Amino acid sequence: MTDTITVNGTAHPMPDDPRVSLLDFLRQHIGLTGTKKGCDHGQCGACTVIVNGIRINSCLTLAAMHDGDSVTTIEGLGTPDEPSALQRAFLEHDGFQCGYCTPGQICSATAMLEELAANWPSDASESLEGRMSISGEEIRERMSGNLCRCGAYANIVAAIEEVAAGGKS
């Protein structure tokens, strides 16, 4: 057991108040405001981060429960000069309007591509066996935990589809 949370490779001390969500810890305690608070109830996905390789809603977990864990936020996925493949694809496909949901969308999609690589099925999968496909329908189902109130879904799906298919990266 350690008394730190590692975020994007840097260890940070745990908060004192057990009420602090992982989301508030990221935004208010260590100043990483890329992760967004939308609904704060696990319904919108704006707060999605990757913990030990797995995507979760950071609003519905306590920072106190994550000592020793490794968290990746949008700030850890790329830089303005060297965006990740998904970040570049979202730009090219205009996968946002206001941009508020975008960090959550990109963290979510980043982990989703790993889930596809691990051949995890989804509710949209034709079969639980064999290779999972990378159809638009699959992407929509797998990304259903990330809402975009501007309605940029068509472009979000196109961006993810391109990266999933190993296209321009």
Partner 1 sequence: MRPFQYTRAPSLAEASNMTAGEDTLAIAGGTNLLDLMKLQVEKPGQLADINRLGFADIEDTDDGGLRLGALATNTETAVHSRVRSDYPVLSRAILAGATQQLRNKATNGGNLCQRTRCFYFTNIDQPCNKREPGSGCGAIGGIAKLHAILGTSEQCIATYPGDMAVALSALDATVDIAGGKGERSVPVRDFHLLPGDTPWIENVLEPGEVITGIVLKAPVGGTQIYRKVRERSSYAFALVSVAAIIELTDGKFSRADLSFGGLAHKPWFDPRVGEALIGQTPSEALFDKAADLLLEDARGYGENDFKIPLTRRTLRAVLTQATENAA
Question: Interface residues with partner 1 (CB under 8 A)?
Answer: 18-19, 21, 40-42, 45, 48, 54-57, 60-62, 64-65, 108, 112, 115, 118, 120-123, 125, 128-129, 140-142, 144-145
Integer Cα distance of 66 and 43 in angstroms: 21
Integer Cα distance of 14 and 3 in angstroms: 6
Smallest distance, partner 1 to C-beta of residue 81, A: 29
Nearer to partner 1, 88 or 113 (CB): 113
Smallest distance, partner 1 to C-beta of residue 121, A: 6
Smallest distance, partner 1 to C-beta of residue 63, A: 10
Residue 140: both structure tokens together: 């929509």
Collapsing DSSP states into helix, strand and coil, what is residue 5?
Answer: strand
Nearer to partner 1, 87 or 122 (CB): 122
Smallest distance, partner 1 to C-beta of residue 48, A: 6
Residue 60: both structure tokens together: 């519905």
Burial of residue 160 (CB within 10 Å: 0-12, 13-18, 19+) is buried
Nearer to partner 1, 67 or 161 (CB): 67
Count the alpha carbons within 13 Å of 167 in the hemisphere toward its beta carbon: 14
Nearer to partner 1, 56 or 157 (CB): 56
